[in-house]
Amino acid sequence: MFTHHLRQYLIPLIGLALLSWMSFAPASTNCTATAIAEVECQALVDLYISTDGANWKNNTGWNVTNTPCDWYGVSCSGGSVTRLSMHNNQLSGTIPVSLGNLSNLQTLYLSVNQLIGSIPASLGNLSKLQILYLHDNQLTDSIPKSLGNLSSLQTLYLHGNQLSGNIPESLGNLSSLGILYLERNQLSGSIPESLGNLSNLQRLYLGGNQLSGSIPDWLEKLENLRILALNNNQLTGTIPELLGNLNSLQYLSLDGNQFIGSIQASLGNLENLKGLKLNSNQLAGSIPASLGNLDNLQSLTLNNNQLSGSIPMSFGNLGNLLYFNLENNELSGTIPASLGNLSKLRQLHIRNNELCGDIPPSLANLSYKVANKEGELEEKFYWLLSNNHLTASDPALIDWLNDRRPGWAASQTPCSQTKTCLVYAIHDDGLNDSQFFTINPANDFTVQALGTTHHGFDIEGMDIHPETQELFASSGDDPATGLENGYIYQVNKDDGTLTPVCSTGLGEISAMSFHPHNHTLWVWADGEGLFTIATALINNGVCEKTAIVASPARVESLTWDNDGEILYGAAGTVLYKYENGTVAETCNDFPSQVEALDMLADGSLLFGLHTASDTSIHSFDIASCAVKDTVPLPVDTPYTDIEGISWMCPAP
């Protein structure tokens, strides 16, 4: 009896509660009763269900009302969905295949969520799609080839996922594409040649993958490219010279690969470049002075390579540079005083090199300051210089260094005193074939070839920069294919590698010599005369020149005296001198066919000849106008045509 009465009492209450819940419960969307096509409505509902729509950050209207064009993130036009924006909305699950039914969709943002699974091939049906953002999810598998059907696509962001496999060749069909962002995935294989068809591409991000092979030549065709990021892959080979033809390029990131060889001087042609990252490779050789042309450069990272030689003086021209990293290389020589011109520099990293000598006082100019919350200026300049062989003698500089980097001096070791001092020379091995060689005065004047013969190069002059110890050379009138006459090169003193610096615009540079004090480069151009060349002032591969003496004569060799007061030149059997703006004869019985001159510490001249009957390097006494053949000179060589010679060592 009690149970019967209880049932009579509870049943009406349950019924009332159920009616009350039903009157307030959300109704599911009826896709047959909306303002858009049923298949489009169903695609939205499928997205809601497959990505846990109930737990989105914002799901206003979704699968509740029959007005999907009013749902959060949905935009419509002409009775069709044109925009779907679910960026950072806590979607989790998979992208439904039916999303490919949104035939008029122009923009799809599903980025920064927790989406898993693969990218549906059906998205390739979205022929009107202009923007596709799927980045920063957990998507896997390969990029579907069908995405190459998106003929209207302008922006494709797939980075920050776990996509694998090759980059589809079909992406080369996206003729309207301006941005391709595939970073931070697990893509492998080579960079497909078809991407060279993307003539409108402005940004190409392929970094942070497992791509292999070399940098393809077709990149030269992407004339509108502003950003090229190939960093942190497994790319090999050398950096191609053709990258210097990408005139629109603003950022170039090749760091974190396995590139070998030298840095191409052609990169100095990229006048719009703001960021250059070549660090963490296996690059060797000297740093081309042409990089000093990059007036707009703000960041330069060359660290963690095997670069040798000195820091180019031309880097003092980089007036917009903010960040400069050269650490963990094999750089030697002194720090150029010109770096003190970098008034905007905030960080300078030069530690773990072989830099030697006094730090120039001009570096105390590098005191970048910013205002703090109180409006007071605080210094923000940061630099690392440990593990070199640097010293300081200027009191003000020492105070500046100690204030900013206490203990810096304790991290330095003395410059090596045992390093062999070498004589450098160049032999003309035939028309357009040049062979560098060295003479070792510490080893019985042993002669040794420096690297291999440079076929196609007509090198006629050479000299060592007295401050940086860089070795420079000049070309005659038969240079290598693709280079102009009268070119200035930098020579790697370890392997003889040539790096083009700049064109002088002169027909033939037959002789060159650096002034021992102001370091100006003096050259003789056959048929034109004597000029000075500002190697630190380079614009688009051309160095600034100043005419000193106009002359039709042919001078084969030049050298300054040790005091920097007299410039000597040999022509025929006459030794000329240029002093106080006047040219005069010094000796008129100088050996004929002299093509190489250099000044010894005792004031006598070294000279080499262009003659098969004399393969020696001799010395010459200017005061008596006589050849000095005292031991240990002359030095016998296997070379018959010595075009240039440079020796920074004391006389034997």
559-577 confidence digits (pLDDT tens):
888 888 999 888 878 888 8
> By the 8 A CB rule, do 123 and 132 touch?
yes
DSSP labels, 551-590: ------EEEE-TTSS-EEEEETTEEEEEETTEEEEEESSP
Question: Checking DSSP bridges between strand 567-571 and strand 557-560, what pairing results, if any?
Answer: antiparallel
- The CA angle 248-250-254, to the nearest 5 degrees, is 115
The 10 Å Cβ neighbour count of residue 463 is: 27
Residues contacting 13, CB < 8 A, separation 6+: none
Q: From the CA atom positions of the chain, what is the Rg in Å?
A: 35
How far is Cα 577 from Cα 155, in angstroms, rounded to an integer? 66
**Beta-bridge partners for 500:** 489
At 27 the pLDDT is 55
- Output the pLDDT for position 616: 64
Contact 460, 432 (CB under 8 A): no
In this structure, the strands spanning 389-391 and 423-428 are: unpaired
pLDDT of residue 117: 98
What does the pLDDT read at residue 260?
Answer: 95
Global pTM reads 0.76
- The separation between the first and the last C-alpha atoms of the chain, rounded to the nearest angstrom, is 130
Q: Apex CA 244: angle with CA 478 and CA 240, to 5°?
A: 80
pLDDT at 631 (0 to 100): 42
- Each residue of 9-25: pLDDT tens digit? 444 443 433 333 333 33
Query: What are the tokens at 429?
Result: 């091995």
521, β-bridge pairs: 514, 533
Beta pairing, strands 459-464 & 471-475? antiparallel
The domain limits of the chain are 423-647
The whole-number pLDDT of residue 649 equals 61
Phi first, then psi: give them for residue 322, nearest 5 degrees. Answer: -105, -35
* Cα-based distances in Å from 513 to 463, 563, 647: 6, 13, 12
Cα separation, 607 vs 619, in Å, equals 6
Given a contact cutoff of 8 angstroms between Cβ atoms, the answer to whether 369 and 378 are in contact is yes
56-93, pLDDT tens digit by residue?
999 999 999 999 999 999 999 999 999 999 999 999 99
DSSP 8-state code for residue 606: E
pLDDT at 333: 86
Regions in the chain scoring below 70 on pLDDT: 1-27, 417-420, 430-431, 477-484, 536-540, 593-597, 608-616, 629-635, 648-652
Q: What pLDDT shows up at residue 276?
A: 98
Lookup: tokens for 320: 């917009």
CA distance 304 to 283: 9
DSSP annotation of 238 reads B
Q: Is the peptide bond before 634 cis (omega within 30 degrees of 0)?
A: yes
Helix, strand, or coil (residue 460): strand
pLDDT at 270: 95
What pLDDT score does 502 carry?
A: 81
pLDDT at site 614: 53
Query: What is the reported pLDDT for 283?
Result: 96
Taking phi over 0 as left and psi of -120 to 50 as alpha, with beta for the rest, 309 belongs to left
Give the number of residues written for the chain: 652
Our CA angle for 72, 75, 79, nearest 5°, is 125
Specify the 3-state DSSP secondary structure of 135. coil
CA gap 121, 110 in Å, rounded: 16
Say what the pLDDT of residue 197 is: 96
At residue 9, the pLDDT reads: 44
In CATH terms, the fold of domain 423-647 is Neuraminidase (2.120.10)
